[in-house]
Amino acid sequence: MAITVVGSVAFDSIETPAGRRDRCLGGAATYFSLAASQFTKVRVIAVVGEDFGASEQSVFDARGIDTQGIERAEGKSFFWEGSYLDNLNEAKTRATELNVFGAFQPKIPDAYRDSEFLFLANIDPVLQKRVREAMPAAKLVAGDTMNYWITGHRDALKQVLKGLDILLINDTETRMLAGNANLVKAARGVLEMGPRMLVVKHGEYGATAFYGTSNNGFGAKTFRAPALPLEEVVDPTGAGDSFAGGFFGYLASQKELTPGVFRRAMFYGSVMGSFAVERFGTERLQQLSRKEVDERFEMFRELTHLD
């Protein structure tokens, strides 16, 4: 099944202990699409400026991603500059220039409207809600958000959460959203806001899915996928979006959404996140075969399974 994703397509300047890259292609929708395209057809809704040229377009084309929903506007694309020199787990933002993204009004091509899978990447919850409502055929809707929306746009975000099947956020965002320092209690609090499943991304420690009603006294059913202990993290940018792309892409590729499919989706999420950080920007995701993906999936199984 095709996924439609709405989110940012951007240029990033990134500095990490491994070096520096200027204006590489980035943005949540870009990482998500490249990761999900390993599994299924992906359609993107975004806005870019005049600096988005043929070489950027070719990155999407090479992976067969449908970009008719990427609007070309006058001006420059969203630009972000960040540094991981102090802490590989958390970027220090040096500059954010919204540019054409500041006035983004998602336009949905007619050809996208039959998408049964919809991913609302981290953008203004008002826009997330609008896209969700404009895509009534979507049967499974997942989304992301961030501290900025949690603290400053809580009411709009809560409207989005009511219509979400799956929310993917990190530990800090989970605690912040629920106002509870205990992750399990916070997860239950988030599930009460609407999503049927919460996937908490732990960075180098993997991710935990909370869903349904507990049968073991722990408030919700849980499933934990590992991350690969990595010798070299070149650039952590986009790891969470790549996780989301692997997770949701795998779900969309399956005929039936069984509990086993959700478990494997968690592993594929971790797999795609582990590739994303191996090189700067989306470099690694651009050069990635399905064979490599499945080999790493098996490595993750071996890393965690008893037999």
Q: At what angle do helices 259-276 and 28-36 cross, to 10 degrees?
A: 120
Distances (CA, A) of 97 to 9, 81, 83, 236, 256: 13, 9, 16, 20, 42
Closest listed residue to residue 247, CA positions, set 127, 132, 122, 117: 117
Q: Which is nearer to a copy of itself, 14 or 198 (CB)?
A: 198
Q: Which is nearer to a copy of itself, 47 or 228 (CB)?
A: 228
If one asks whether residue 257 binds a copy of itself (CB under 8 A), the answer comes out as: no
Q: Which is nearer to a copy of itself, 23 or 224 (CB)?
A: 224
Closest listed residue to residue 237, CA positions, set 131, 115, 116, 80: 80
Q: Which is nearer to a copy of itself, 110 or 256 (CB)?
A: 256
Residue 254 in tokens: 């399956």
From the list 121-129, 143-151, 156-164, 176-184, the region that binds a copy of itself by CB under 8 A is 176-184
From the list 7-15, 47-55, 106-114, 199-207, the region that binds a copy of itself by CB under 8 A is 199-207
Q: Which of 101, 104, 267, 275 binds a copy of itself (CB under 8 A)?
A: 267
CA atoms of 81 and 170, how far apart (whole Å): 21
Phi, psi of 176 (to 5 degrees): -65, -45
Using CB atoms within 10 Å of the CB of residue 95, give its burial: 0 to 12 exposed, 13 to 18 middle, 19+ buried. Answer: exposed
Angle at 204 between CA 177 and CA 163, to 5 degrees: 35
From the list 21-29, 91-99, 135-143, 263-271, the region that binds a copy of itself by CB under 8 A is 263-271
What track of x and - describes contact with a copy of itself for positions 209 through 238 (by CB under 8 A)?
-x-----xxxx--xxxxx-xxxxxx-----
Identify residues 81-110 at the interface with a copy of itself (CB under 8 A).
88
From the list 40-48, 67-75, 115-123, 177-185, the region that binds a copy of itself by CB under 8 A is 177-185
Q: Supply the minimum distance, in Å, between the C-beta of residue 92 and a copy of itself.
A: 16
> What SS3 state is found at 211?
strand
Q: Supply the minimum distance, in Å, between the C-beta of residue 67 and a copy of itself.
A: 34
CA atoms of 121 and 125, how far apart (whole Å): 10
If one asks whether residue 301 binds a copy of itself (CB under 8 A), the answer comes out as: yes
If one asks whether residue 304 binds a copy of itself (CB under 8 A), the answer comes out as: yes
Q: Which is nearer to a copy of itself, 127 or 166 (CB)?
A: 166
Phi, psi of 63 (to 5 degrees): -100, 10
- Point out which residues bind a copy of itself (CB under 8 A): 88, 181-185, 187, 202, 204-206, 208, 210, 216-219, 222-226, 228-233, 260, 263-264, 267, 299, 301, 303-307
